[in-house]
Amino acid sequence: MSLFRTRRSRAVTSTPLDGVDVLLADLDGVVYTGRNAIEYAVDALGRAVGEGVTVGYITNNASRTDAQVAEHLTSFGLEVAPRDVVTSPQAAVLLLAGLVPAGSTILVVGGEGLTSEVEKAGFHVTRQASDKPAAVIQGFAPTVAWTDLAQASFALHTGIPWVATNTDWTIPVEGGIAPGNGTLVSAVHTAVGILPVVGGKPEKAIFDAAVERFGAKTPLFIGDRLDTDIVGANRAGMRSVHVLTGIDGPKQLLAADKDSRPTFILDDLRGLFEPYPETEFSKDGNTATVNSAVVRLKGDAIEVVKSGDSAVDRLRAGSSLIWASGRPIYGLQVAPELYS
């Protein structure tokens, strides 16, 4: 369904959840930040379950097991079993199984979240290149050291396969934003000159695993990062929600390229149950209206004509107008009211 229309067409007032059989949610920045649940998120996800929607959780965090993630979510009042959690180690191990014989010895760089999945799949774990592993699998853990990266490098110089759980450059932690698995993968890449096969977002493997596990026909994915969450959902052919409670905010949305654009933009997860306004374009395509917010393109300027009643409607209008223009953000002068 298109979210754009001209002023003469009839408005569509469906909600983002209409027709959805499986709701897939990222965790950090969507459900919680550190130890704290994000406001309205738990109630909204619980309501979705109560209305008959299956809710699953997708995470690139490779440092925890599915059971540990489920326990964390349960502590907020959600009813979550380990099976409801799809992790990047699970997706990575599925890829690994297609690259090496069953029961192979695998050099693991990472923690329990990764080693547990490798062992469940029937592989043998080693930390030493001298054990002649059949492949290297790499994921984030706070304890990963230079010596672990060196062992991976030694092993990969023999030409064996390399699988990474994910390549996120950053990871949100209680103290702020820290280097993620992408920085560790990059260090090994610099040493060996090759790139890994990746299981987690934004690659399709983790989305495909979730669709298969939950039997999804019309899934909707919720994320807070454009480069992993929304790009991944688009690659998997899923509709997506970008929620403004995590990493990427208005500036990133306004500048989003065609691969990074979500289907819906929400302030918080209450918006899943609210009618989602379509963008109305003027006949010349230079003015976009969302509810009472009006934004126009005049020359190289993106101007706010009417502020409307909410910042998110201004952002929806501004984003739609910039995306439809086909013009790069660096060639436009964007009104600060759209991103400040």
Query: Tokens 């149950």 map to which residue?
Result: 273
Strand partners, 266: 243
H/E stretch holding 314: helix 311-325
Catalytic residue among 28, 66, 224, 229: 28
> What does residue 48 show for φ and ψ, rounded to 5 degrees?
-60, -45
For the question of residue 66 being annotated catalytic, the response is no
Q: What is the dihedral of CA 223, 227, 232, 234, to 10 degrees?
A: 90
Q: Is the dihedral of CA 56, 80, 110, 247 positive or negative?
A: positive
Catalytic residue among 18, 21, 26, 309: 26
For the question of residue 28 being annotated catalytic, the response is yes
Reduced to 3 states (helix: H, G, I; strand: E, B; else coil), residue 244 is coil
Q: How does DSSP assign 246-291, residue by residue?
A: SS--HHHHHT--GGG--SEEESSGGGGGSPPPPEEE-TTS-EEEET
- What whole-number distance in Å separates Cα of residue 102 and Cα of residue 334? 55
Q: Are strands 293-298 and 301-306 parallel, antiparallel or unpaired?
A: antiparallel
H/E stretch holding 211: helix 204-214
Q: What is the dihedral of CA 120, 192, 183, 227, to 10 degrees?
A: -80
Helix, strand, coil: what percent of the chain each, to 5?
Answer: 35, 25, 40
Task: Show which residues are catalytic.
Answer: 26, 28
